[in-house]
Amino acid sequence: MKCTRCRAPAEVQLRAHNAAFCRPCFVFFFQRQVERAIESERMFGRGERLLVAVSGGKDSLALWDVLAELGYDATGLYVGLGIGSYSALSHQKAAAFAERRGLPLRTVDLENEGGLAVPAVAQVTRRVPCSACGTMKRHWFDAAAIDGRFDVLVTGHNLDDEAARLMGNVLRWQKDHLARQRPVLVPTHPRFVRKVKPLFLTSEYETAVYAFMRGIDYIVDECPNAAGATQLVYKDALNRIEAASPGTKLAFVKEFLRAAQPAFAAADRDPPRDCERCGMPAYGSLCAYCRLVDEMQRRATPRASAPA
């Protein structure tokens, strides 16, 4: 097998792209693919300040690496979820990466933010951990982007994440989710910044290969709560379809964005208003985070027993 670009012996084959690459050409191809996504979707420009949400995993660190290599002003944001040794190790990986590359990293530790670590919140509110986690992450990503006066919030969601999310949204016809499943979300509230996903057309396999070739030391273990997530069932189904018909994931996401997404976006709900308590965007009187905190406090405070 020869490299599609330079004819040297190839190290990696990408069936979805009908191509194979040697190491230097794959690194070039990967970075170029991300750059093209940024440019064609007009995600951000050179003068803008980017806040990159990093988990210590391969996708977000590979993305941060590419953005730094392409010369963007990219600061990392690590949100410590308080999920035992998984969180400790993932923080270590993100911090070590930042230090080695001389990149700025901001850290928010949920345990120091009113003791709201994911396992405790999930247990007290009886939510599934990923639901509590999602609400908290979104809140702290938005808050950190606004507080730090960043222009853009960048996340490492890849093609596999987007295809699995799309499959879940389609299977249940979640119209309001489909209305907001885009690689670029323009802010609909003064306390939102633009949100972008430069890896939305880059497969998980490609980011894993890139991270390996660039010597990025990332956390290999999944979050212990990922095992029960429905997202993994969709990913598995999509991987089987992809094996039988390479390029399906790419077509699924691309064609949705081209042919169907605009219709869902046009019928989207009203923009959020201000949360009455914290001023963050809210679709009711309180934002999702304040509602979660309320629920946590209500359940954690034992009711006074009725007088005898």
Instruction: Please give the residue ranges that form the binding site for ligand Q46 (CB under 6 A).
Output: 81, 118, 129-130, 133-134, 223, 225-226, 229
Q: Least Å distance between CB 226 and ligand Q46? A: 4
Determine whether 190 is exposed, middle or buried from the number of CB atoms within 10 Å of its CB (0-12, 13-18, 19+). Answer: exposed
Q: Which stretch binds Zn ion (CB under 5 A): 169-177, 187-195, 202-210, 287-295?
A: 287-295
The partner in contact with residue 275, picked from Zn ion, ligand Q46, none with C-beta cut-offs of 5 to 8 angstroms by kind, is: Zn ion
Q: Least Å distance between CB 52 and ligand Q46? A: 15
Residue environment code for 33-52, b if the CB has 16+ CB neighbours within 10 A, otherwise e:
bbbebbeebebbeeeebbbb
SS3 of 20, please?
Answer: strand
Specify the residue, 179 or 287, whose C-beta has the smaller distance to Zn ion.
287
Asked whether 261 and 182 are in contact (CB, 8 A), the reply is yes
For position 143 contacting Zn ion by CB under 5 A, the verdict is no
Specify the residue, 129 or 183, whose C-beta has the smaller distance to ligand Q46.
129
Q: Least Å distance between CB 298 and Zn ion? A: 16
Q: Least Å distance between CB 131 and Zn ion? A: 17
Question: Which tokens belong to 201?
Answer: 């057309």
Nearest to 4 by CA among 37, 30, 29: 29
The partner in contact with residue 226, picked from Zn ion, ligand Q46, none with C-beta cut-offs of 5 to 8 angstroms by kind, is: ligand Q46
- Near Zn ion in 216-255, by CB under 5 A: none
SS3 of 72, please?
Answer: coil
**Straight-line distance from the first to the last Cα atom of the chain, in angstroms, rounded to the nearest whole number:** 83
For position 116 contacting Zn ion by CB under 5 A, the verdict is no
Nearest to 57 by CA among 218, 251, 231: 218
Q: Least Å distance between CB 158 and ligand Q46? A: 12
> Which one of 10, 25, 81, 287 is in contact with Zn ion (CB under 5 A)?
287
Q: Least Å distance between CB 290 and Zn ion? A: 3
Q: Is the dihedral of CA 211, 162, 233, 248 positive or negative?
A: negative
Determine whether 182 is exposed, middle or buried from the number of CB atoms within 10 Å of its CB (0-12, 13-18, 19+). Answer: buried
Specify the residue, 16 or 142, whose C-beta has the smaller distance to ligand Q46.
142
For position 278 contacting Zn ion by CB under 5 A, the verdict is yes
The partner in contact with residue 133, picked from Zn ion, ligand Q46, none with C-beta cut-offs of 5 to 8 angstroms by kind, is: ligand Q46
> Which one of 275, 292, 293, 296 is in contact with Zn ion (CB under 5 A)?
275
Asked whether 30 and 66 are in contact (CB, 8 A), the reply is yes
Q: How many Å apart are CA 205 and CA 157, to the nearest integer? A: 13
